[in-house]
Structures are given as C-alpha cells and as structure tokens.
Structure 1
Amino acid sequence: MSSQHSDCDAPAPQLMPVGEALERLLAEVTLPVATEEVSISDALGRVLAEDQLSTVDVPPADNSAMDGYALKIADLAAGGRLNVSQRIPAGTAPLPLKSGSAARIFTGSEIPLGADAVVMQENATAGESDGQQWVEVTEVPSVGNNIRRQGQDIRTGQVVIPAGMRLQAHHVGVLASVGVSQVRVYRRLKVAVLATGDELVMPGNPLEPGQIYNSNLYTIRGLLQGLGCEVVDSAVVEDTLEGTKAALRQASEQADCIITSGGVSVGEEDHVKAAVEAQGELRLWKLAIKPGKPMAFGYVNGKPLLGLPGNPAAVLVTFNILARPFLLRSMGAGNVAANGFSVEVGFSRPKAISRQEYLRVQLQDGRAVLGASQSSGVLSSSVMAAGYLVVPPNQVVEEGGRLMFIPFSEVMN
C-alpha cells in the first residue's frame, strides 16, 4: 500500500540534506529552448524568453502629480493672484503657458511649456471677476513641486523586464505601460502525473473495504496548473512492476517531465524505484526531510522523473520545497527561491529530530502555532495553516525562539 508508509524519524546518516538535494536537482535541469509569442493578455504565469525593452519614456512628457494649478514661480513675485489662462484635462495637449498666468491642471495632465511647478488645489483659492477666472496661491511651491518628469519611471531603451522572469499581474501592467502587446515566452512544460496504489479510488466512486480516495493526483495536478504547466496525462498505476514500467514508458513518450506519487519506498508493493532503474537511472533517493524522506529523482528514457512519496502531506511538502524549483527552472525561470521570513515560535518541542522538518503552522499575532496533526498522512492540516515553519536538523524547538517561516503564498502558485 504505497500511500500508507510511515514517515517516522530514525537516525540515518546516509540521508541527503535538503539544501544539497535542491542544488543537485537544479544542476540537473536542461534549460528550455522552444519559445512562442503570446499576447500579454495570455502571458500571466509564463516565463519571458527575452529581455523586454521600452520604446518610449514613461511618462512620455512632464505631467502633474496633483489636481491644481501649473504656473511659473517667478510670476508669483508680482503678487499672489494669477489669471487662469487655460484648462488642461488629462489626455489633451496644452498650449504654452501665457506669461503671468496659471493653468488649471489635473492629475496626469501634461505640464505646459513655461510652467515649473504645480500648486495643489488645497493650497490655492480660486475665484472669478468680470468673467475672468483667477487663482490666489496660499502656499508658494518650490521649482519642480508636484511634477512627474518625463522618463521618471522608465526611459526609452531601458530593460523593463528581464528574460527569465515569470510574469505576474504587475509585470503585465508594466509591459502594457510601454506599449508592448506581444511577448516571447518559453513553451509550457508538459508534465505527466502518475499515482501508484491499488487502494486508490477516484472521487465520485464508492469506497470498498481497504480503499481510499486519490487526493495526490488532484493535489499535484492543481499545483502544476498553478505553475502554468500543461498536464498531459494523469492516471492511477497498478501495483505491479510491469504495470509501473509500462505507465512510465508511456509517460516518457508524452511528457517533458514525469511526477509520480507513492511507490518510491522499500515495501514489497513499491515498484517505482525498480521500474525507473529498469528503464533509466535513479540519481537521488532518500532525503533528510520530514515529511517526505522517500523522495526520488531520476530519468526514464531520458525524461526527468520526480518521485514524490505517497503520503498526502509529504506530497505537498516535497512538491513545494523541491519539485517546484526544479519545474520553474525547467520552464526557464531565473529566480526559483521561495522567500521566507523569521517568526517567533509559539510552542516548544524538546525532542530534536535528525531531518529538516516542515511543520504546517498558523500565524497568530505574528507567532507560529501548531494546528492539527503533523502526520505525513494528514493533508487537512494544511487547510487552516498559513505556511511552513522550517525546523533545521537536530534542533530543539523553543517557545519564544525564532525560526524561518515560508508562506503558502510563496509556494502555491
């Protein structure tokens, strides 16, 4: 039963540290070469294949940062009142500023030639006499006040987004701000997902004695879709060596990468390791991580395989911490690190373990507190959790101490 193996801690000096495993995984990546051009409307989550340069200045001309009045400060020396000679709504080209006058101006409007400052409307009093509008300045500005200079944000020829960036909403907004409508991105990574275990039943079907619903297939599929991968196959593999070999062989013909769950431990019904070695090679197996010790990496017919454990919480942890960076780098992404920050620990655990542990925790008033069971078979503990508290190997957890926290928002998309 591939999804039922325990993840208990036992001294095992041969286990590979998490940091070393991640370095070795990233060193195995073959960078993508196939690219395609897509609309920026469809570019969210895609990885840029080439630097994006601006062909315009942003803003394209000096403009106002406030609603108010554009004027030349020297004109205020003759008195605080100036006639209003023009009105400049956003999107219209201004006339040169008439000497000794002010221009009514609005946020984003182009500054008229001859003006050197904008007075906020809160610092001015407007009126009208004999059909002529005027303004009195109550607080004299300095040269350049409330003016956004041409090219202040972006200059023509500047790299606005470098190659290797995985595009998020703000990146797309910047591309739009310089007039880019199409971008060249790397082709989507095709990933096959296989779950092993005769006990697995797909949701919607009745459970027979000894069976469990297959959550791993859906967890992995959802995580892959969040990364922008193309899931080309997802199936349950029978617990036989020949069945596992056949499924892996078919997956290697269809996908750029294969992800399995279960079958990588040492039980009699665990066939993934043997099936991989029969059709390729295993490069990495058994890590000093909890949960997720049985994780494996290798190749089947030249295609990389990430062998995740069978326990649902271990699947989540090993995908987030190890598989995700590998997949992102394989998609052409430059920065694949998950950013974390130090938090105060709101519980204690006097017993240290020999593996690096990823505890699913909640944050309460900025302190990390344990939620539900931390068993590797309990996926529900992730539902109310905010992220992972990282406990280094052989370290006692002390209440009031500080440890690294990785938010789920960093590893779930």
Structure 2
Amino acid sequence: MLTATSPVKGYEQIGILEAVARVLHEPVVSVLDVPSHTNSAVDGYALRGDDLPKAGNLVKMPVVGVALAGKPFAETVLPGQAVRITTGAPMPAGTDTVLMQEHIDMEGDRICIAGGRHRPGENVRMAGEDVRQGETILDQGRYLTPPDVGLIASIGIGEVKVKRRPRIALLSTGNELHSIGRSLGVGGVYDSNRYTLNSALKRLSVKVMDQGIVPDDPELLREALLRAATMADVVISTGGVSVGEADFVKDVLRSIGHIYFWKVAMKPGRPLAFGSIGSSVFIGLPGNPVAVMVNYYQFVLPLLERKMGIVERPVLPTLKATSTERLVKKPGRTEYQRGILERGQSGEWLVRTSGKQGSGILRSMSLANGMIVLEHGRSTVEPGEIVDVLPFACLM
C-alpha cells in the first residue's frame, strides 16, 4: 500500500502559528546562532573560573554590579570580582562561570564561595549551543510538532512552506444506512462510520470531502466513485467489500480502476479492498463499525501519512501487559481485541477486554483504551499470559 502511494505535490506558505501538524515542503535552515550570545543558565553570580578556591578554602568576593536579561552589565569584570546575574542575561566581559544563588552565602555585599563545590564554566550556555547559523534544523517531510514551531520561532522565522493538505473523499454504501435526522425504517441503521472516520481524519492535516451515503446499486456506486476520484487524492468507502449479494464495491472497482487486494488475514477487518481509480488511491473498508476503526488505524493511517509527505512516521509503542482473562483466538490471522489497560498494585500493566468483541459493537472501542494485539500464529491466551497492547493514546 505504501509503495503504491506517493506524497502529494504542491505547497503553501503559512504563518508558523498555523503550522503545527503540517508537513514541511522544504528544510528549515537557521539564519542565526541560538542562543545568539553566551548567557547564564541560572540565577546567580558570574565570575572568572580561575578565581574559584581550591577544596578546603573559602573566598569572599565583592559583587560589583548586576546583569539582567535584556540589560547586560556593560563593564569588564576584574579578577576577584563577581556580578549578580539572572537567567538568560549575557555573560559580562571577563567572566566564564556562574554559581547558582542557592549555593552561595552572602556577607554584606560579598559572596562567600566554598572551595571544591564548583567548577569553571558551569551554568553557562554558549552562543550557538542549541543551533548554529546555516544549520538545517528541520528536514523536508517533517511533521511539525509544537516544539518544532517553537524552534522555528527561536531563529526568527515567521512563515514556512508546507505541503498542501491531501484531499480525502469519504462515502458509505448500503441501502440500510440513514443519515442522522431521518427516521429509521424496518432494518435501518444510522451511519456511524462516516462520523468516526471524519473524527479520526480531523486529527490529520487533510481536507475531508464527505460524499454521503450511496445505495447498493452498481451504477450509482460507479458514478459516486468516479466523481470522488476526480476531486480527491484518496477515496475511502465503507461497506460493500465482502462477498454478499449486495457487495458491489470490488466488481465496480475492477470496471473503473485497479484492485490490488481485497482480503487481509486479520480480525476484525478481513474484507479490505485496496486499489486505484485514475490517479486516486482507493481504500474500501468493511461495513462493521469496529472493523472500520481497526482497519483505519492499521492500514489507512500509515497510508495517509505517506500521502501527506511525512518522511519519518511517528513511533507507535506497544506495552507488555498481563492478561487477566481468557482471550479466545484461532491461529492463522492477526487479531485486535479491544482492551482496558490499567496498572496493577505492583505497578505492572494489566489488561482485560472491554466486553463483547463483535465487529459491529462500536461500544467496545468507546469503552477501551487500547487494542490487544494477538499475533498471527498465536492461539487462545490464558489468564496470566503476556500480550502486546497498543494504547489508544498513541493513536487517537
């Protein structure tokens, strides 16, 4: 899926306050040193490191002035003198060391320094210590985080070029589906899939184009998919990808585009269609709500990150947890059970399921705080066995 997907082309230039969660189109190169001047890392007293006494000795040193952030001490500090200094203030000429005020005793206008406690050069931030002028601080394809935005601001840059937002067309299929606000007929259900997917997609830097509900009619489905493909980089549908009499997505996709595969060895979410319509990537998700969400996080999210142009995917850590109950599973497929992860009395991770695990029980996702990942070859898990858990905090 990743091989068949290429990043979007095109970019826009935006202010850095709008840049979080966007993807850099080009590297950011620093135009200055950060810090721009050598300064104090703490509140304390600046002096010459050579004036520090040896272990066992005590020195009393006069304080001859004050250096503040934004208002430096203008004179040169002579041997045997000290200057009161605040965090971020430029180091006065003649000084190279700052002693923390908490570690100093005062005697009138003099500081008392005990030998052996301090070392030359301590508590000083050197010019360019964080960033050097001309250094690339953020690479092309970087997914911008709040610290990244602050880093860009620290070099005085107010605008950056970011990749355009991929366009995602979203539609649901099925005669039984109804939009919110309409009364349900016999056998009808409200369409939850577009709402869960819309909500998940809002966490990404993409533009969602909601195409509504398409009935189980091959011609209407064909028209809807072609229309969506003309406007979107990625087309996502839910429902109609299994082997039922009203499951037309696979056959329609073959007639208007290409299909690369349509089943995966996992539960829930076995029916998953992947292909293309013209220049658009197509993903056909199952109709069951839990299967939709599991497939989204395991397959669609990595693909969309690739389409956004993210070069280095965020790491999704799993935790080792002890199962507190029996988890029934057949070998031969990877299974994602919805779980509730919590700390035991000794600090160890414990996990149990969030209730019934049917692929249509969306509440099992709402109650859970993670997915229990049961590997392809694994069979039933007994209480006390260790399992992998993917916390939702890393995904949602």
Q: How does the TM-score come out when normalised to structure 1?
A: 0.88
- Higher alpha-carbon deviation: 377-386 or 68-77: 68-77
Change (3 A) 1:385 1:88: same
Residues in 2 aligned to 1:108 and 1:160: alpha-carbon distance in whole angstroms: 22
Pair 1:361-2:355 in alignment: no
Residues in 2 aligned to 1:271 and 1:242: alpha-carbon distance in whole angstroms: 10
Q: How does 1:5-84 map to 2 (within 5 A)?
A: 25-77=1-53, 80-84=59-63
Pair 1:118-2:63 in alignment: no
Contact kept, 8 Å, 2:50 with 2:120, in 1: the verdict is no
Contact kept, 8 Å, 2:233 with 2:279, in 1: the verdict is no
Q: How does 1:8-407 map to 2 (within 5 A)?
A: 25-77=1-53, 80-95=59-74, 96-128=76-108, 133-138=109-114, 140-336=117-313, 338-346=315-323, 347-349=325-327, 351-365=329-343, 366-396=349-379, 397-407=381-391
Residues in 1 aligned to 2:339 and 2:326: alpha-carbon distance in whole angstroms: 13
* Amino acid paired to 1:356: T
Residues in 1 aligned to 2:78 and 2:152: alpha-carbon distance in whole angstroms: 37
**Post-superposition offset of 1:134:** 2.4
Residues in 1 aligned to 2:6 and 2:243: alpha-carbon distance in whole angstroms: 30
- Higher alpha-carbon deviation: 49-58 or 189-198: 49-58
Aligned length: 384
Match of 2:35, SS state, is coil
Residues in 2 aligned to 1:257 and 1:209: alpha-carbon distance in whole angstroms: 34
Match of 2:202, SS state, is helix
Residues in 2 aligned to 1:154 and 1:360: alpha-carbon distance in whole angstroms: 44
Match of 2:7, SS state, is coil
Match of 1:232, SS state, is strand
* Amino acid paired to 1:263: G
Query: Residue deviations 1:258-316, cap 9 Å, x none?
Result: 00000111111112112111111111111001110001111123311110110101110
Query: Residue deviations 1:83-109, cap 9 Å, x none?
Result: 111111112233232332111011122
Residues in 1 aligned to 2:286 and 2:318: alpha-carbon distance in whole angstroms: 27
Identity %: 36
Contact kept, 8 Å, 1:338 with 1:406, in 2: the verdict is no
**Post-superposition offset of 1:342:** 3.5
- Higher alpha-carbon deviation: 309-318 or 106-115: 106-115
Contact kept, 8 Å, 2:13 with 2:159, in 1: the verdict is yes
Residues in 1 aligned to 2:121 and 2:50: alpha-carbon distance in whole angstroms: 13
Tell which has more relative contact order, 1 or 2 (C-alpha 8 A, sep 6+).
Answer: 1
* Amino acid paired to 1:395: R
**Post-superposition offset of 1:406:** 1.9
Residues in 2 aligned to 1:269 and 1:235: alpha-carbon distance in whole angstroms: 18
* Amino acid paired to 1:380: R
Residues in 2 aligned to 1:330 and 1:276: alpha-carbon distance in whole angstroms: 21
- 1:13 paired residue number: none
Q: How does the TM-score come out when normalised to structure 2?
A: 0.92
Contact kept, 8 Å, 1:308 with 1:318, in 2: the verdict is yes
Query: Residue deviations 1:352-374, cap 9 Å, x none?
Result: 33210111111111122211221
**Post-superposition offset of 1:384:** 2.7
**Post-superposition offset of 1:229:** 0.7
Query: Residue deviations 1:369-389, cap 9 Å, x none?
Result: 211221111111122322222
Cα RMSD between the aligned structures?
1.8
Match of 1:226, SS state, is coil
- Higher alpha-carbon deviation: 247-256 or 118-127: 118-127
**Post-superposition offset of 1:65:** 1.6
Residues in 2 aligned to 1:152 and 1:398: alpha-carbon distance in whole angstroms: 53
Contact kept, 8 Å, 1:118 with 1:141, in 2: the verdict is no
Residues in 2 aligned to 1:143 and 1:232: alpha-carbon distance in whole angstroms: 62
| Unmatched tracts of structure 1, length 5 or more | 1-24
Query: Residue deviations 1:49-99, cap 9 Å, x none?
Result: 111121222222222121110111333559622211111111223323233
Residues in 1 aligned to 2:340 and 2:143: alpha-carbon distance in whole angstroms: 28
* Amino acid paired to 2:97: A
* Amino acid paired to 2:234: C
Contact kept, 8 Å, 1:324 with 1:411, in 2: the verdict is no
**Post-superposition offset of 1:337:** 5.5
* Amino acid paired to 2:352: V
* Amino acid paired to 1:392: E
Residues in 2 aligned to 1:185 and 1:285: alpha-carbon distance in whole angstroms: 34
Residues in 2 aligned to 1:75 and 1:355: alpha-carbon distance in whole angstroms: 71
